[in-house]
A and B are shown apart, each in its own frame.
Chain A
């Protein structure tokens, strides 16, 4: 299957700071990228969908000013968690899709806000 990378894999930051997470599709051009959040023992929660060159579409309840998404190219999307708080601590996972095919997931980023 296709390869999607995510960086960093793990990050610890202080409350009030911002954290940027990168998601890259390594061997295909991703027309659409997705950002998910997953709390322990819970299902994946879609945060936003982004298409290259256009603004991300956020799910209900997700603050677009807090979770900034940039999909600048067909192989790179970034999620910036601004002014992070302890309740933002979670497992953030991106996925990438080419056309209407299956989604391939990155390895995830575990964010801990202290």
Chain B
């Protein structure tokens, strides 16, 4: 079956760095997306990895290891507005995104 595993909730301090891990199992693989979702709002696109390695985009970086079925999202210089849920979504062989419950990130001053 298809499965995604992320921590349910994480807490970090403003200005610090946090890494949100994701392991996945899918039927085929066509890349992995990270989305940010604030409470009561729709998800917004953060990053896309299809090859192994690290993709850096400003304060956010995303890493992928296809052989391990593993990805992480790294957030640097945390700001209060980064408090949100972060959704790891691999794309299967049918180009469908597989969604888990996401990780709720709480930023404290």
- Chain A residues in contact with chain B, CB under 8 A? 1, 6, 42-46, 49, 91, 93, 100, 102-108, 110
Please classify how large the interface on chain B is, using the bins under 10, 10 to 19, 20 to 34, 35 or more: 10 to 19
Q: Is the interface of B mostly helix, strand, loop or mixed?
A: loop
> Which A residues lie within 8 Å of B44 (CB)?
1, 105
Shortest CB-to-CB span from B11 to chain A, Å, is 17
A-B contact number at CB 8 A: 40
Question: With A42-B101, A43-B100 given, is the CB distance from A100 to B95 under 8 Å?
Answer: yes
CA distance A101 to B24 in the complex (A): 20
Q: Is the CB of A108 within 8 A of B42?
A: yes
Contacts of B42 in A (CB 8 A): 6, 93, 105-108
Residue of A49, A93, A103, A104 with most partner-chain B CB within 10 A: A103
Q: Which of B22-77 touch A at CB < 8 Å? A: 30, 33, 35, 40-45, 48
Task: Given A49-B96, A100-B95, check contact A1 B45 (CB 8 Å).
Answer: yes
Whole-angstrom CA separation of A107 from B40 in the bound complex? 9
Q: Which residues of chain A are within 8 angstroms of B33 by Cβ–Cβ distance?
A: 102-103
Give me the 4 closest cross-chain CB pairs, A-B, nearest first. A105-B42, A108-B42, A43-B101, A44-B99
The complex places the Cα of A46 from the Cα of B35 at a distance, in Å, of: 16
CB of B12 closer than 8 Å to a CB of A: no
Q: Does B102 count as interface, using CB distance less than 8 angstroms? A: yes
Q: Which residues of A contact B41 (CB under 8 A)?
A: 107-108
The residues of B that contact A1 with a CB separation of less than 8 Å are: 44-45
How many angstroms between the C-alpha atoms of A102 and B99 in the bound complex?
14
Chain B residues closer than 8 Å to A110, beta-carbon distance? 40
